[in-house]
Every structure is written in structure tokens, then in C-alpha cells.
Amino acid sequence: MDDGLTDNHRRIIGSGMLVVDAAAVRMLDLLEDRNSPTAMKVIEGSVTEGEREQVRASLLQLQALIASFVRKYDLQPSKKNLRRILASDVSQIWVSLEDSRPARIRGYGDMPISSAELLEADLQEMLLVANRLRALLSS
């Protein structure tokens, strides 16, 4: 451990390592196709199998270096509460759905009543699911 660093130094360096580590994990997940299916995000383009292996090896090396770095500089890992993370994501879902309602987007131009009614019904169905999730995670 390097005793020349203050707690403030360690917090700042730790924040940076959190970003680096999270990016490495996201990249590995993409390379390994470990992502959940998504309707609104399509990954295009490709890398060759050789490139994939080189990137994967480099990321695993980077993660090993990060782990060593954390020990060397006595950095504290970020601890997150799973329920709070899930509840926060559900809140973002709810806000996005609410902000997509016809009454909220009328400033972007006229919408035929039939389209507004259909949109509202579809959003209501998704909001019901979001509200069930909110209730489940609020306990």
C-alpha cells in the first residue's frame, strides 16, 4: 500500500477504476454475447474472431491489473444495494413511459385521436407492469 495517498486521493482514483472496470465488463459482455435481448438497441458491425480473442485477452489482463492496483493502493470497492439499483431503474422506466404519453408530447405536433388513444393504451399496459415492479421493489 502507498501511504503517500490521502483518503481523497483514494476516492478519486477508485472512482476512475470503477469506470475502467465497468467498461471492461461491458466490453467482455458484448464479446461473449452475454447481453439480454433488447428491442431498441441493435449491435451492428463485427470484429474478426482473432480480434475478438485479442480484445478479450487484453481486457482480462486489464482486469487483473485493476485488481492488483486496488490492493496496492488500498482502494475501497463500490458497494451497491441490488434492490436500490433495481428500484432506480424501474423509476427511470416509469418516467420514460410517462413522458411518452400523448398528453405530454402534444407540443411536438398534432396527433390523430385514434393514434393518441392507441398510444395511450399501449403505454398504460407498460405502466401497469412498471407499477407492479415499483410496488414489488418498494418493500
pLDDT in tens, 14-64: 999 999 999 999 999 888 877 677 888 888 888 999 999 999 999 999 999
Question: Which of 72, 97, 122 is the C-terminal boundary of a domain?
Answer: 72
Q: Which three cell numbers stand for residue 5?
A: 495517498
User: How many domains in the chain?
Assistant: 2
Other C-beta atoms closer than 10 Å to the C-beta of 74 total 13
Q: Which three cell numbers stand for residue 96?
A: 420514460
pTM, 2 dp: 0.74
Task: Give the contacts of 98 (CB within 8 A, at least 6 positions apart).
Answer: 104, 127
In this prediction, residues 83-87 reach a mean pLDDT of 94
Other C-beta atoms closer than 10 Å to the C-beta of 130 total 20
| Structural domain for 120, as ranges | 82-137
Is 80 exceeded by the pLDDT of residue 116? yes
Other C-beta atoms closer than 10 Å to the C-beta of 66 total 16
Is there a single domain that holds both residue 99 and residue 67? no
Counting residues of the chain whose pLDDT is more than 90, the rounded percentage is 77
End-to-end CA distance of the chain: 41
- Angle, vertex CA 15, rays to CA 11 and CA 17, nearest 5: 115
Average pLDDT taken over every residue of the chain: 92
Is there a single domain that holds both residue 60 and residue 105? no
Residue 4 pLDDT: 85
Residue 2 pLDDT: 60
Given a contact cutoff of 8 angstroms between Cβ atoms, the answer to whether 94 and 130 are in contact is: yes
Is there a single domain that holds both residue 65 and residue 86? no
Confidence of residue 124 (pLDDT cuts 50, 70, 90): very high
Residue 45 pLDDT: 81
